[in-house]
């Protein structure tokens, strides 16, 4: 039996500041949109074609991240697609949104990067290629 899969991972920049609301039951919801450029060849040149996606974030993550989700901020989104359907003036309408299960803040926003200000520090975790202060290795590693 085949299993349906609805999973999306996308990286882009916020097109506007996020909007946070609390529903009647107290649950937080945060909405924002991101732009993702697709490079395509047009004649002899490469041009960027922007694509725009609406994102919905729920619960505690919406509460804690909404203040950092500002225009120009680069984010990585992990989630699923949801289609909302309704009728307006007798016309069937629909909209597809990305419902985020995880949002990672990446780098600074475009304004701070282009103005020469240093991007804010995102994480104190060290990667395998980053030396950790206080670690010392012998020069002759056997592998």
Q: Where are the domains of the chain?
A: 8-114
Count Cβ neighbours within 10 Å for each residue of 20-42 and write b for 16 or more, e otherwise: beeeeeeebbbbbbbeeeeeeee
CATH architecture of the domain with residue range 8-114: Beta Barrel (2.40)
**73, 100, 64: which is closest to 12 by C-alpha?**
73
CA distance 1 to 24: 40
This prediction has a pTM of: 0.69
- Please, are residues 106 and 11 in contact by the beta-carbon 8 Å criterion? yes
Q: Of 68, 107, 101, 64, nearest to 82 (Cα)?
A: 101
Per-residue pLDDT of the chain (143 residues; tens, 9 = 90+): 789 999 999 999 999 999 999 888 889 999 999 999 999 999 999 999 999 999 999 999 999 999 999 999 999 999 999 999 999 999 999 999 999 999 999 976 565 444 443 334 333 333 333 344 444 444 555 54
Strand partners for 99: 56, 80
pLDDT at 102: 95
């Amino acid at each position: 039996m085949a299993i349906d899969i609805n999973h999306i991972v996308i990286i882009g920049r916020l097109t506007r500041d996020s909007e946070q609301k609390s529903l009647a039951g107290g649950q937080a919801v945060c909405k924002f949109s991101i732009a993702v450029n697709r490079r395509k060849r047009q004649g002899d040149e490469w041009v960027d074609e922007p694509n725009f996606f609406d994102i919905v974030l729920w619960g505690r993550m919406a509460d804690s991240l909404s203040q950092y989700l500002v225009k120009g901020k680069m984010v990585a989104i992990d989630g699923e697609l949801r289609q909302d359907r309704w009728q307006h003036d007798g016309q069937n309408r629909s909209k597809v949104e990305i419902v985020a299960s995880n949002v990672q803040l990446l780098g600074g926003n475009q304004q701070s990067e282009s103005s020469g200000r240093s991007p804010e520090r995102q994480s104190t975790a060290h990667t395998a290629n980053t030396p950790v202060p206080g670690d010392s290795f012998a020069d002759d590693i056997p592998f």
